Amino acid sequence: MLKDDYTGFKFSTSNTLKDLTYIHEMLKDLGNAEKLADVKKSFYKKAVEDGNGDLFISELIQKD
């Protein structure tokens, strides 16, 4: 990764949220696995709500 270049992993935040929503649904009956999926999904949901849905997930590093 080049300095200040956070575009190395080319998968958008919105696509990540979509996939985690599917995973969350599949794990809904597995207790702790579902809780962990919920935490991860919440992180990406907030990123999308904050207007970062089109960013690659690696670009979220620079937003913190």
Over residues 5-64, the pLDDT tens digits come to 766 667 888 998 998 888 888 888 887 887 888 888 898 999 999 999 998 888 887 655
Residues 6 or more apart whose CB falls under 8 angstroms from that of 9 comprise 56, 57, 58
Q: Say if pTM beats, i.e. exceeds, 0.75.
A: no
Is the residue at 33 inside a domain?
yes
Number of domains in the chain: 1
Residue numbers of the domain that contains 22: 13-63
Is the residue at 4 inside a domain?
no
> How many helices (H) and strands (E) in the chain?
2, 0
DSSP assignment letter at 53: T
Is the residue at 3 inside a domain?
no
pLDDT at 63: 52
